[in-house]
């Protein structure tokens, strides 16, 4: 009886040890997976830059260079979901990247195609929306329309024209005043000459 109790006790102890051991291993694995996912999230990104001169956006897609990842393509509405038209992302220090120029004021659904056989969404997409295939979502890229700045050229020209007109009127007024003044002086001079001439033409009476 004592032997049976000892065997049972040892058996239970062994089970508890194994449970504890596997619980620890599971916790380590979960932590490792979470770290890997976090690293993946950190390296996955979408950078939007509006180009006022062209009226569109320069969008840079970045996908992490995970172990086993050989090729990455970004497929979406902007290339008709055609893998033959979709560019392959270039591998660099920060992962796989590519840059596209897309029209403003539109939204685009897209996904990453990994190694030509695995689809993935971008965790940094503006939204995730249902795709045409049941149970799957697409990433959504939203590019807001940007209003063109109001040109101030017309207003500046109007102000400049108004100032020029005012200055011209002032100059004309001064010129007219000067002309009038000269005319008055000339008329006075003419009158004085006439008076002198009149006095000289008058003859003195004979004595």
pLDDT in tens, 182-200: 554 555 554 554 544 555 5
CB atoms within 10 A of CB 139: 24
Q: What is the SS3 assignment for 6-42?
A: HHHHHHHHHHHHHHHHHHHHHHHHHHHHHHHHHHHHH
User: In this predicted structure, what is the pLDDT of residue 87?
Assistant: 87
Q: Mean pLDDT over residues 70-94, rounded?
A: 93
The mean per-residue pLDDT over the stretch 3-27 comes to 69
What tens digit of pLDDT does each residue of 111-155 get?
999 999 999 999 999 999 999 998 999 999 999 999 877 666 555
Residues 19 and 73: their CA atoms lie apart, in Å, by 44
Lowest mean pLDDT of 32-36, 93-97, 123-127, 164-168, name the range. 32-36
**Which of 93, 91, 94, 97 has its CA nearest to residue 74?**
97
Q: Global pTM?
A: 0.55
What pLDDT is stored for residue 37 in this prediction? 47
Q: What is the pLDDT of residues 124-133, one digit of tens each?
A: 999 999 999 9
Question: 42-62: per-residue pLDDT in tens?
Answer: 578 999 999 999 999 999 999
Q: What was the pLDDT predicted at 196?
A: 46
Q: What is the pLDDT of residue 177?
A: 67
CB 180 within 8 A of CB 149: no
* Confidence at residue 80, expressed as pLDDT on a 0 to 100 scale: 96
User: Quick one: pLDDT at residue 32?
Assistant: 45
Predicted confidence at residue 35, as pLDDT, reads 45
For residue 173, the model assigns a pLDDT of 72
Q: Would you say residue 156 has pLDDT above 60?
A: no
Which two three-digit tokens encode residue 68? 């086993």
């Amino acid at each position: 009886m004592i032997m049976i109790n000892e065997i049972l006790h040892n058996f239970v102890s062994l089970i508890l040890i194994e449970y504890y051991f596997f619980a620890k291993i599971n916790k380590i694995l979960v932590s490792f997976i979470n770290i890997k996912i976090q690293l993946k999230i950190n390296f996955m990104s979408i950078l939007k830059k509006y180009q006022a001169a062209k009226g569109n956006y320069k969008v840079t897609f970045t996908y992490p260079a995970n172990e086993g990842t050989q090729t990455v393509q970004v497929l979406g509405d902007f290339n008709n979901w055609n893998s033959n038209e979709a560019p392959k992302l270039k591998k660099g220090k920060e992962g796989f990247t590519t840059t596209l120029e897309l029209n403003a004021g539109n939204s685009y659904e897209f996904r990453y195609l990994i190694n030509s056989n695995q689809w993935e969404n971008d965790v940094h997409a503006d939204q995730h929306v249902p795709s045409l295939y049941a149970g799957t979502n697409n990433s959504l890229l939203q590019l807001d329309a940007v209003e063109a700045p109001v040109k101030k050229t017309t207003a500046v020209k109007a102000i400049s024209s108004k100032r020029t007109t005012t200055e011209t009127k002032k100059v004309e007024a001064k010129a007219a005043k000067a002309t009038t003044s000269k005319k008055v002086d000339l008329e006075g001079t003419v009158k004085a000459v006439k008076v002198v001439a009149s006095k000289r033409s008058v003859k003195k009476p004979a004595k």
